[in-house]
């Protein structure tokens, strides 16, 4: 029942829950080739049962306050996901991740959705450090990290195996003070731009 508008095109961010396992499965299947290049999604979710198990694992994370999953809907269809893979409120650290079906790419949906999620983590939950990981070759994901104002901190060499290969994973992050400063700057710029 809850939804956050992601812009004028009607796209929305909403909670994604276990009862939506069928819809989630269809989404994973549509995105298999595209999303699957850098994420082992179809290895984890391949039928209704595994889809429900995946969403339940995130419902458990919500219950223990260690993660969250949100869906992006466009034109009435689930086209992407923004998730807090892990969150340690005591440590003040969270890792955010995302993916998008090819049909929904290029509209800025992920960036806007990730901003809502990071805002919540930083402002509502006191997270100090938000991390983002992406394969070096996943230029789209790295572009999102950059647009979110994140800093590249290093490369975890050969840390992620996928279908017989091992990928280097870049580690990016944004700290709470940086996040707030960037938002303030953006707000100032928006005001300036709207001046006659």
Under the rule (CB under 8 A), what is the footprint of a second copy?
1-4, 14-15, 17-19, 56, 59-60, 62-65, 89, 91-93, 116-117, 119-120, 124-125, 128-129, 131, 151, 153-161, 166, 171, 173, 175
**Which is closer to a second copy, CB of 79 or CB of 121?**
121
Residue whose token pair is 């800093």? 151
**Which is closer to a second copy, CB of 103 or CB of 178?**
178
> How many CA within 13 A on the CB side of residue 69?
21
Structure tokens at 83: 């998730």
**Which is closer to a second copy, CB of 62 or CB of 140?**
62
Residue 193 Cβ vs a second copy, minimum distance, rounded to whole Å: 26
Task: Identify whether the C-beta of residue 74 lies closer than 8 Å to the C-beta of residue 109.
Answer: yes
**Which is closer to a second copy, CB of 92 or CB of 103?**
92
Rounded to whole angstroms, the maximal C-alpha distance in the chain is 57
**Which is closer to a second copy, CB of 27 or CB of 52?**
52
Residue 102 Cβ vs a second copy, minimum distance, rounded to whole Å: 27
**Which is closer to a second copy, CB of 5 or CB of 188?**
5
Residue 5 Cβ vs a second copy, minimum distance, rounded to whole Å: 11
Residue 186 Cβ vs a second copy, minimum distance, rounded to whole Å: 18
Residue 79 Cβ vs a second copy, minimum distance, rounded to whole Å: 19
| Cα–Cα distance measured from residue 3 to residue 20, given in angstroms and rounded to the nearest whole number | 15
| Cα–Cα distance measured from residue 186 to residue 189, given in angstroms and rounded to the nearest whole number | 5
| Cα–Cα distance measured from residue 165 to residue 106, given in angstroms and rounded to the nearest whole number | 28
Residue 91 Cβ vs a second copy, minimum distance, rounded to whole Å: 6
Going from the C-alpha of 2 to that of each of 106, 114, 167, the distances in angstroms are: 25, 17, 37
Cβ-Cβ contacts under 8 Å for 133 (sequence gap 6 or more): 95, 97, 156, 169, 170, 171, 172
Question: Phi and psi at residue 145, in whole multiples of 5°?
Answer: -55, -45
């Amino acid at each position: 029942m809850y939804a956050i508008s992601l812009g004028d095109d009607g796209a929305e961010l909403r909670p994604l829950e276990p009862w939506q396992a069928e819809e989630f499965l269809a989404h994973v299947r549509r995105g298999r080739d595209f999303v699957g290049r850098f994420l082992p999604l179809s290895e984890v979710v391949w039928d209704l049962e595994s889809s429900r198990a995946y969403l339940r694992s995130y419902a458990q994370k919500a219950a223990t306050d260690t993660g969250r999953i949100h869906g992006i809907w466009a034109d009435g269809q689930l086209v992407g996901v923004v998730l807090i893979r892990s969150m340690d409120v005591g440590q003040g650290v969270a890792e955010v991740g995302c993916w998008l079906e090819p049909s929904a790419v290029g509209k800025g949906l992920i960036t806007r959705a990730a901003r809502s999620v990071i805002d919540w983590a930083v402002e509502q939950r006191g997270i100090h450090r938000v991390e983002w990981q992406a394969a070096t070759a996943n230029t789209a994901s790295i572009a999102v990290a950059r647009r979110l104002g994140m800093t590249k901190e290093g490369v975890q060499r050969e840390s992620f195996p996928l279908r017989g290969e091992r990928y280097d994973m870049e580690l990016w992050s944004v700290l709470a003070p940086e996040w707030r400063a960037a938002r303030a700057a953006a707000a100032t710029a928006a005001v300036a731009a709207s001046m006659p």
